C-alpha cells in the first residue's frame, strides 16, 4: 500500500502511475529508434486490423520505413501495405479515386479541424461551468415565484447602486 500522507494536494495530483509521459522528439540512438519503429509499426497494423474487423469497414495503411543508411547509397525500402492482399488494396485505391473531390472532402477530417472542435467543446464546457445559465433549484419555482425572485434581485441591485 502506498502512503501519500506526506504529500500536499498539489503534489498528490502530480503522482503518475504506470507509464510516464513520453517526450516527442527523435530518438538519437539508431538501434533504439529502429526498435521503437518496429514495435509501433506492428501495433499500428494490429489496431488497423482490429478497427476493420470490429467495425466492419475497409481500412488500409501504407507505412514507409526509415532509411537504412545515412549515406543514401541504398534505395529506400519498399513501403509496407496492410492489407496484404494486393486486390483488396487496389480495390480500396480505385474506390477512393472514383469518389468526387467533394465526397472526399466530406469524409476527410484534418488534424487541425479535429483539435479545433475539441478546443471549442472544451471552451464551451468551461464557460458552462464558470457561468451556469440555470440553477436546477429554480425548477420547482412557479412563474410567480420567479417573478418575485427577479424583483427581489432588482431591488438588491438598485440598493447597491445607491450606496
Domain ranges across the chain: 26-108
Task: Provide the pLDDT for residue 1.
Answer: 41
Q: Would you state the pLDDT for residue 72?
A: 60
Q: Model's pTM, two decimal places?
A: 0.49
pLDDT in tens, the chain (163 residues): 444 444 444 443 444 556 677 778 888 888 998 899 999 999 999 999 999 999 998 888 988 887 765 556 666 678 888 888 889 999 988 988 888 888 877 777 778 888 888 999 999 888 888 877 777 888 888 999 989 988 998 999 888 877 6
- Which SS3 state, helix, strand or coil, does residue 33 take? helix
Q: 62: which strand partners?
A: 81
In tens, the pLDDT along 138-154 reads 888 899 998 998 899 89
The DSSP line for the chain is ----TTS-HHHHHH---SS-PPP-S--SSHHHHHHHHHHHHHHHHHHHHHHHHHHT----EEEPPPPS-TT--SPPPPPEEESS-HHHHHHHHHHHHHS-HHHHHHT---HHHHHHHHHHHHHHHHHHHHS-S--GGGGG--HHHHHHHHHHHHHHHHHHHH-
> What is the C-alpha to C-alpha distance for residues 45 and 83, in angstroms, rounded to an integer?
9
Alpha carbons 23 and 18: distance in angstroms, whole number: 16
pLDDT of residue 9: 41
Query: Domain spanning 26-108 has what CATH number?
Result: 3.40.1810
Amino acid at each position: 500500500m502506498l502512503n501519500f500522507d506526506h504529500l500536499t494536494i498539489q503534489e498528490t495530483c502530480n503522482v503518475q502511475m504506470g507509464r510516464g509521459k513520453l517526450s516527442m522528439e527523435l530518438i538519437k540512438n539508431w538501434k533504439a529508434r529502429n526498435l521503437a519503429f518496429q514495435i509501433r509499426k506492428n501495433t499500428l497494423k494490429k489496431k488497423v486490423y482490429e478497427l476493420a474487423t470490429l467495425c466492419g469497414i475497409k481500412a488500409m495503411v501504407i507505412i514507409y520505413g526509415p532509411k537504412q543508411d545515412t549515406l543514401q547509397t541504398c534505395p529506400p525500402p519498399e513501403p509496407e501495405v496492410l492489407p496484404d492482399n494486393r486486390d483488396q488494396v487496389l480495390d480500396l485505391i480505385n474506390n477512393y479515386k472514383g469518389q468526387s473531390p467533394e465526397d472526399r472532402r466530406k469524409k476527410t477530417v484534418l488534424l487541425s479541424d479535429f483539435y479545433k472542435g475539441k478546443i471549442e467543446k472544451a471552451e464551451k464546457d468551461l464557460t458552462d461551468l464558470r457561468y451556469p445559465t440555470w440553477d436546477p433549484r429554480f425548477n420547482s419555482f412557479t412563474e410567480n415565484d420567479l417573478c418575485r425572485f427577479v424583483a427581489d434581485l432588482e431591488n438588491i441591485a438598485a440598493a447597491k447602486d445607491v450606496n
